[in-house]
């Protein structure tokens, strides 16, 4: 009987210890850092066609590594190249026209300057002759006032000199007026030539914009890798027609992967951007990888229609994205992992 009692006591103590350990483990799990499961995702970028054309070449095969700038697809480029050639021809003609217009504007400007300078010369000459004519006229009046005391020839000479100078003054004034008209006409011509030169320059600028757009269209006939990586998918082959905006390929960087796991509503406050994370891959014999939290969602997912009870609130989860270094490319897209946040560690 005593043995039975002892056995019962021992078994009871063992069960109590096991239950206590399980409760303690569950409590530690509940009180431990946020943890969850997720699937490895590759850091990929989709390449799209900007123009609609037929594929003429696909130099890279799926799974191949490429460097930044490598040609992924070549599209037929007859129309864009023809538009570029036409735009370049128009640019050459417009450039020659603009050069000629600029030369004409410069010549007209210089002619206008010369015409304005001739106004000054004509005005100076007219003023000088006017002064001489005034002196001659006064001299003629003085000789006339002398009456018989002045010789007849002297009076004739004075009158002739005054009359001649007055004629020269009239001619100089007429020349000044003509110079002003010429200067005005030259100025108008210079302004018109300058306006024509400006219009030609604007035309050249407009055609240059057309050339740039045509060159962009030609460049878009080749779809290039924006960065180094592995060509994961190629959706088109030579001979197929690509529509504008269609995704033609997907490029991934195997050295950089991410995993998204879900943190319960009660623990989301512990997740912070920049926090370190411990990631375990079961497929790699439990190998541990270090990661960094890149994003904590601001909006919950799997939200019930009506949050009325505590249990409903506990069902809310927030996506947390962790970035991992994968230099040896051991982690592959689709591989399941377990993520544990290191709440006391941040980068």
Cα separation, 80 vs 133, whole angstroms: 78
Same domain for 257 and 270, yes or no, is yes
pLDDT at 224 over 60: yes
Cα separation, 326 vs 341, whole angstroms: 18
> Quick one: average pLDDT of 259-263?
91
Banded pLDDT at 29 (limits 50, 70, 90): very low
| Cβ within 8 Å of residue 193, ≥6 positions away | 101, 104, 105, 107, 108, 109
Same domain for 95 and 210, yes or no, is yes
Give residue 122's pLDDT. Answer: 58
Residue 258 pairs in a beta bridge with 41, 323
Phi and psi dihedrals of 120, rounded to 5? -60, -40
Show the 3-state SS of the chain: CHHHHHHHHHHHHHHHHHHHHHHHHHHHHHHCCCEEEEEEEEEEEEEECCCCEEEEECCCCCCCEECCCCEEEEECCHHHHHHHHHHHHHHHHHHHHHHHHHHHHHHHHHHHHHHHHHHHHHHHHHHHHHHHHHHHHHHHHHHHHCHHHCCHHHHHHHHHHHHHHHHHHHHHHHHHHHHHHHHHHHHHHHHHHHHHHHHHHHHHHHHHHHHHHHHHHHHCCEEECCCCEEEEEECCCCCCEECCCCEEEEEEEEEEEEEEEEEEHHHHHHCCCCEEEEEEEHHHCCEEEEEEEEEECCCCECCCCCCCCHHHHHCCEEEEEEEEECCCCCCCCCCEEEEEEEEEEEC
Tokens of 30: 């509940």
CB of 214 within 8 A of CB of 83?
A: yes
Could you tell me if residue 338 is inside a domain? yes
Cα separation, 119 vs 123, whole angstroms: 6
Cα separation, 242 vs 247, whole angstroms: 9
Cα separation, 238 vs 74, whole angstroms: 9
Note the pLDDT tens digit of each residue in 208-218. Answer: 888 888 888 88
Banded pLDDT at 4 (limits 50, 70, 90): very low
Q: In terms of residue numbers, what domain contains 151?
A: 80-217
| Cβ within 8 Å of residue 175, ≥6 positions away | 122, 125, 126
> Quick one: average pLDDT of 98-126?
67
CATH number at residue 87: 1.10.287
Cα separation, 28 vs 21, whole angstroms: 10
> Quick one: average pLDDT of 234-262?
91
> Quick one: average pLDDT of 134-143?
58
Question: Looking at the whole model, is its pTM more than 0.75?
Answer: no
Same domain for 191 and 255, yes or no, is no
Same domain for 289 and 330, yes or no, is yes
Better-scored residue on pLDDT, 347 or 262: 262
Same domain for 111 and 235, yes or no, is no
pLDDT at 50 over 60: yes
Same domain for 149 and 248, yes or no, is no
CATH number at residue 283: 2.40.30.170
Could you tell me if residue 51 is inside a domain? yes
Could you tell me if residue 12 is inside a domain? no
> Quick one: average pLDDT of 116-127?
62
Banded pLDDT at 248 (limits 50, 70, 90): very high
Tokens of 196: 């024509």
> Quick one: average pLDDT of 113-125?
63
Note the pLDDT tens digit of each residue in 283-337. Answer: 888 889 999 999 998 888 765 454 445 555 567 889 999 999 888 888 888 899 9
Choose among 93, 41, 127: nearest CA to 321. Answer: 41
* Per-residue CA distances from 323 to 33, 277, 284 (Å): 18, 9, 18
Same domain for 71 and 124, yes or no, is no
182, 217, 252 - which closes a domain: 217
pLDDT at 111 over 80: no
Cα separation, 220 vs 81, whole angstroms: 11
Candidate from 20-24, 42-46, 52-56, 165-169 with smallest mean pLDDT? 20-24
Give residue 343's pLDDT. Answer: 74
158, 182, 217 - which closes a domain: 217
Same domain for 97 and 213, yes or no, is yes
217, 244, 263 - which closes a domain: 217
Domain count, the chain: 2
């Amino acid at each position: 009987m005593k043995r039975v009692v002892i056995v019962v006591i021992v078994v009871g103590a063992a069960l109590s210890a096991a239950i206590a350990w399980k409760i303690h483990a569950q409590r530690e799990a509940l009180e431990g850092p946020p943890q969850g499961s997720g699937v490895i995702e590759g850091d990929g970028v989709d390449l799209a066609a900007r123009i609609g054309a037929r594929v003429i070449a696909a130099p890279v095969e799926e799974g191949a590594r490429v460097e930044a700038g490598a040609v992924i697809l070549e599209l037929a480029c007859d129309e864009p190249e023809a538009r570029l050639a036409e735009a370049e021809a128009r640019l050459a003609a417009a450039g020659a026209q603009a050069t000629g217009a600029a030369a004409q504007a410069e010549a007209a400007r210089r002619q206008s300057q010369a015409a304005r300078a001739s106004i000054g010369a004509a005005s100076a000459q007219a003023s000088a002759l006017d002064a001489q004519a005034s002196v001659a006229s006064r001299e003629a009046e003085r000789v006339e006032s002398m009456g018989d005391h002045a010789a007849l020839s002297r009076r004739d000479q004075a009158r002739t000199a005054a009359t001649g100078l007055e004629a020269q003054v009239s001619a100089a004034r007429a020349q000044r007026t003509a110079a002003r008209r010429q200067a005005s006409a030259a100025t108008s011509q210079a302004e018109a030539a300058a306006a024509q030169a400006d219009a030609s320059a604007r035309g050249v600028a407009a055609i240059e914009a057309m050339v740039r757009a045509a060159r962009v269209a030609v460049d878009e006939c080749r779809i290039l890798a924006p960065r180094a990586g592995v060509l994961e998918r190629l959706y088109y082959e030579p001979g197929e027609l690509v529509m504008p905006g269609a995704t033609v390929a997907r490029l991934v960087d195997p050295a950089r992967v991410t995993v998204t796991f879900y943190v319960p509503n009660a623990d989301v406050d512990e997740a912070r951007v920049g926090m370190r994370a411990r990631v375990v891959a079961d497929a790699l014999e439990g190998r541990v990888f270090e990661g960094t939290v890149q994003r904590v969602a601001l909006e919950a997912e799997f939200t019930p229609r009506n949050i009325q009870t505590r249990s409903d609130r506990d069902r809310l989860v927030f996506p947390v994205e962790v970035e991992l270094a994968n230099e040896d490319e051991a982690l592959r897209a689709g591989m399941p992992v377990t993520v544990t946040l290191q709440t006391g560690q941040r980068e």
